Amino acid sequence: MTTTSNYEVLFEQGNAPIKAWTKGVAFDENSKQQLKNIASMPFIHKWVAVMPDVHLGKGATIGSVIPTIGAVIPAAVGVDLGCGMMAAKTTLKAADLPDSLELMRAAIEKAVPHGLTFGKRDKGSWTDAPPEALAKWLHLSEGFKKLCAKHPWLEKSNNLAHLGTLGSGNHFIEVCIDEADCVWVMLHSGSRGVGNKIGSHFIAQAKKDMERWFINLPDKDLAYIPEGSEHFRDYVEAVAWAQDFAQANREVMMARTLQAMREVLPMPFSADVEAVNCHHNYIRKEHHYGEDVWVTRKGAVSARQGEMGIIPGSMGARSYIVRGLGNEESFCSCSHGAGRVMSRTEAKKRVSLEEHVKAVAGVECRKDQDVIDETPAAYKNIEAVMQAQEDLVEIMHTLKQVLCVKG
């Protein structure tokens, strides 16, 4: 375990402390106020830990680790339950890739539904789902039936229809090259429509409970569910299933992506050398400082001693495969990426198409107006983010993307 820490303490008076790993990284005042609101909640255990990719979220700040005893805040977990990363190292070398990756990108885009329009198959259609999705659904369906028995509204969600689909926004699939010229496949997605339905329902339920109990909050999105209540048990059960769905979703997309690459490349390859599959939007019961606590990682990754994780940059920057150092002061956590410095609306206003094209030079990806909200300039400098958390993780591999699929 690391013996030194790189954080600074913010806002101790009247609240739980806030320990922020943000040295040398932009940290705006609105995010600080949001963190202060979170730290004022009476059930925070010890302190709130802030990762260097921190930025404003809904209710809770993205890039924060929120340990609680006796309650959870559904909006802090969010609606993309179990959102996270998966990376697989292949036996391919950079020299094995063709000079143009246009056909490979087209093959991946065909194999994995993505975007708002093409991000799903027909609801409930077993004939349209690929074999990989059907195999995963067999393991998920029993738990889903039990959830639907309690929550009939969940039956009409996009569940099987979204299994193996990417979505839009900051979700992506990338082909990357590491420091030894090895080829990796990396992707980012979560629980899609069914997770959104679960998260949204329990956020609304928590807000109703706050009104019924006349509980005043600094932010309505900090509405919480007390442990021991019926809603608490239902929430934890539903979130656990959504997190399993998210992991299965990534596994299906990885299998489909690798198959698409095999259809384009002339040589055989395997991708079982090394793989990582980790959440960065989730809750988990953990033991910290003598107590069993609920740890909410809102845009943060578990980084226990020796644990592998993924910290992606923007679509024009480096990404990192890391190994956790088990720093207890961060509740054994690290950042989940670079973190935004511009909202999507702001990025579209401030960054020109010409600037975007220049920023992603050398990457086979979309270079159109509709993807400017994901342009590299909208994100923090990933190197600065990594330096700020060098006491939380050690870098095992440095990846640079050569192909990026965005919804």
Residues 284, 294: Cα–Cα separation, whole Å: 6
Q: What is the DSSP secondary-structure string of 271-316?
A: --SEEEEEESEEEEEEEETTEEEEEEEESEEE--TT-EEEE---TT
Instruction: Tell me the backbone φ, ψ of residue 235, rounded to 5 degrees.
Output: -65, -50
Hey, what domains does the chain have and what are their CATH numbers? Answer: 8-341+379-406 (3.90.1860.10)
The pLDDT, as a whole number, for residue 320 is 97
Q: Residue 246: count other Cβ atoms within 10 Å of its Cβ.
A: 26
188 is catalytic: no
18-20 and 48-55 as β-strands: parallel, antiparallel, unpaired?
Answer: parallel
pLDDT digits (tens, 9 = 90+) for 52-71: 999 999 879 999 999 999 99
* pLDDT exceeds 50 at position 35: yes
pLDDT digits (tens, 9 = 90+) for 82-129: 999 999 999 999 999 999 999 999 999 999 998 754 444 444 444 467
Q: Each residue of 285-320: b (16+ CB within 10 Å) or e?
A: eeeeeeeebbbbbbbbbbbbeebbbbbbbbbbbbbb
Residues 368, 351: Cα–Cα separation, whole Å: 12
The owner of tokens 């702001």 is 346
The pLDDT, as a whole number, for residue 169 is 82
pLDDT digits (tens, 9 = 90+) for 128-184: 678 889 999 999 999 999 999 999 999 989 899 899 999 888 899 999 999 999 999
Residues 245, 238: Cα–Cα separation, whole Å: 11
45, 55, 171, 336: the active-site residue: 336
This prediction's pTM = 0.93
Give residue 395's pLDDT band: very low, low, confident or very high (50, 70, 90): very high
